[in-house]
Each structure stands twice: as structure tokens, then as C-alpha cells.
Amino acid sequence: MLNRSEIRTYLTARGPAQEELFAEARRVREEHFGPTVILRGVIEVSNVCRVNCDYCPMRRDNTRENDRYFMSSDDILERAREIRAAGIDIILLQGGETPRNLSAIEDAIPRIRALYDGRVEILLNLGNMRREQYERLRALGATSYILKHETSDVRLFEAMRHESLDDRLRCMRDLLDLGYRVGTGLISSLPGQTLDSIVDDIELAETMGVHMCSVSPFVPAPNTPLQLSPIGDNELALNALATLRLHRPQLLVPSVSALEKTSSGGQSRGLAAGANVMTVNFTGDTDRQRYLIYGKDRFVVKKQYVDGLVRASGLRLRGSVFLSPETEPGAPISAGITDGRSRLRYAS
């Protein structure tokens, strides 16, 4: 574990010092996971959200103008079949925060489990909910949950999301308590964010005891209050990613599409900085164009692109690390990694 001064130094490393940081992050990834990258397939189930984040084009104030959609359980299952056919055993169901899509999700989860004979990680990213709702989703078969804290700066969180950080952390604790594998995440270069606040973000991932953490550089998206703010610094985001790897080696850390959006080649550099997860988009064309996470011209990750990127990085794809019987709640994640090889064959 690193101390605050070391984290600060790593966040600001450039040139040879940055290369050394990345090399050490790759070494630590190799030690804990082997030369592997975990592959997920995402289905974006709805673009409707009750929250009003200043950085997001799907914010509540835009909802009326956006072309709204909710996927049905049948639609979700059709996409899940495509993910299975691609040899992927992690299905990420992601959408805006609204109770209106819950019944379709609740219906879809057992059907997806049946499709895979139970050998599937169902990962949700659906925002804050009441504990009973998380409990119900878990009982239906959800395995893991992404609930990014975005920023650990209480005032900045409230200014950007118009919500309470305490509520967010309460949800995270509920999820951990219910046995979910939990992912958090931070946005780097948010307007008004300090370097110390990113140090806090990295420490929070450790103190919360989460299993996954992402770093996304800020993207000034169109039709948002922050559209004229400067674009996020990819070097800072990559350094934060590498620092997370050193601070908490067993974390799953994705190389996110925002890295590519802010700088061409960004996702490849994410892998070079120690990331070990990639997500392929399986949302249908029409809905994908309506899912305005970074605006209409976001970077859409396809399977062929991931295959090439992972191969060029000298790595290979693997399936979920959360499906092994050894990974009981509280056990180190690396306990689920037996030989570093995927249980599924990947269709190219």
C-alpha cells in the first residue's frame, strides 16, 4: 500500500518516471492476474435518468429532449444471446438511474442465468437504490455491481451531481454487505478538482474494500453545463490507473472508452498502465445512438477492436474472476484465478 506522498508523486510523474510507473503497474498486474484481460459485454438498457449530473448528456433536465428508450426483457435477452455467442461470460446491464426499468431487469436476470446454465457474472450499473431493491436483484442472480463514487470531495460531488456523497457510500456499503462484488470509479480532471482529492479517491477505493475501480478522464459533453470546460488530462487519468494498481493490486481496473475519447490510443495506453478489464458494446444500433453518455459521437468499443488491442499488448482475454467457488465474500479476488486462462473460448 502506498502513502499519500507516494500517490501524489505517482500522479504527477511524466517522462521516464511515468514509464517506470507503468512498467511496475504491468508487473504487479502480471503477478496477480497473469497476462490476461477480463472481457465484459455491456447492454445499455435505458437512457432515462432521474439524476442531473452536470457532466452527463442523459441528465434529467435533458430527458424531455432526448429520444427516450427502455429495453424490454426480451430485447435484453436477445442481446445477451449475442454476448454468449461471442464467448463472453460477464453481462453488464447498464442504464440511467430510474425505477422504471427495474421490472424488465428483474425479469431478464433469471433468463440470462438460464441461458448460461448459471455460469455467468451478471454485473449491474443502475445507480442508487434502496437496500431491499439490491437484495431482490441479488436474490434473482445478480453477481456484481458498479456504483462509481465519481469524486470523494463532498462539496464537488454535491456541486456536480446535486446528490449526497453519503447516500452514494451508503449504497456501496449495502452492496458489499449483501455479497455483491462491487466496483467504484472516479472521474479525473473534473472542473474544480484538486490533486489531493484524487489521492482521496484512490484511498477511498482501498478503505471501502471494493473489488473494482475505474478512472475516467473528464469529457466535456455537449448539452451539459460543463460543455465548455477543458477536456480531461489523459496522462493524469493513466497515472491514477497505474497508481490504483500499485496501491491495491488485486483490483479489477478497466481501460475505459473515455480514455480513447479524450486521446487516440488511450485504451491501449490504459492496458500499458496496468488495466485488466475491457468492455465490448452490444447495445443495438438504434438504442446505442440514443445512449448519450458522452454525446452522440462517443467511441464505441467493438469485439474486433478489443481482440486487436489485447493481442498487440501481449495479453490474452479471459472470463469472469468472480465465478469460482473459491471466491467467497471476503476472499481475495486472486483466489478465483486458477491458471489465468479463460473458461470460455473467445469467438474472434
Q: Which is nearer to ligand SF4, 98 or 276 (CB)?
A: 98
Taking the complex as a whole, the smallest distance from the CB of residue 61 to ligand SF4 amounts, in Å, to 9
Q: Which is nearer to ligand SF4, 87 or 127 (CB)?
A: 127
Taking the complex as a whole, the smallest distance from the CB of residue 313 to ligand SF4 amounts, in Å, to 29
- Counted residue by residue, the chain has a size of 348
Lookup result for grid cell 477543458? 230
Taking the complex as a whole, the smallest distance from the CB of residue 96 to ligand SF4 amounts, in Å, to 4
Q: Which is nearer to ligand SF4, 292 or 333 (CB)?
A: 292
Q: Which is nearer to ligand SF4, 28 or 123 (CB)?
A: 123
Q: Which is nearer to ligand SF4, 51 or 86 (CB)?
A: 51
Q: Which of 185, 155, 190 is nearest to 172 (CA)?
A: 185
Taking the complex as a whole, the smallest distance from the CB of residue 51 to ligand SF4 amounts, in Å, to 4
Q: Which is nearer to ligand SF4, 126 or 238 (CB)?
A: 126
Q: Which triple of cell numbers denotes residue 14? A: 511524466
Q: Is the separation of the CB atoms in 107 and 142 below 8 Å?
A: no
Contact residues: ligand SF4, CB under 6 A: 49, 51, 53, 56, 58-59, 96-97, 127
Taking the complex as a whole, the smallest distance from the CB of residue 324 to ligand SF4 amounts, in Å, to 31
24 — alpha (psi -120 to 50), left (phi > 0) or beta? alpha
Taking the complex as a whole, the smallest distance from the CB of residue 304 to ligand SF4 amounts, in Å, to 28
Amino acid at position 281, single letter: N
Taking the complex as a whole, the smallest distance from the CB of residue 113 to ligand SF4 amounts, in Å, to 26
Q: Which is nearer to ligand SF4, 59 or 245 (CB)?
A: 59
Instruction: Give 67-73's long-range contacts (Cβ < 8 A, gap of 24+).
Output: 67/290, 68/290, 69/287, 69/290, 70/45, 70/46, 70/100, 70/101, 70/104, 71/43, 71/45, 71/46, 71/101, 71/104, 71/287, 72/104, 73/104, 73/105, 73/107, 73/108, 73/111
Lookup result for grid cell 437484495? 135
Judged by DSSP in three states, 348 sits in coil
Taking the complex as a whole, the smallest distance from the CB of residue 310 to ligand SF4 amounts, in Å, to 28
Torsion from C-alpha of 292, 148, 127, 161, nearest 10 degrees: -70
* Nearest-angstrom CA–CA distance, 128 and 163: 10
Q: Which is nearer to ligand SF4, 37 or 292 (CB)?
A: 292
Q: Is the separation of the CB atoms in 157 and 151 below 8 Å?
A: yes
Judged by DSSP in three states, 42 sits in strand
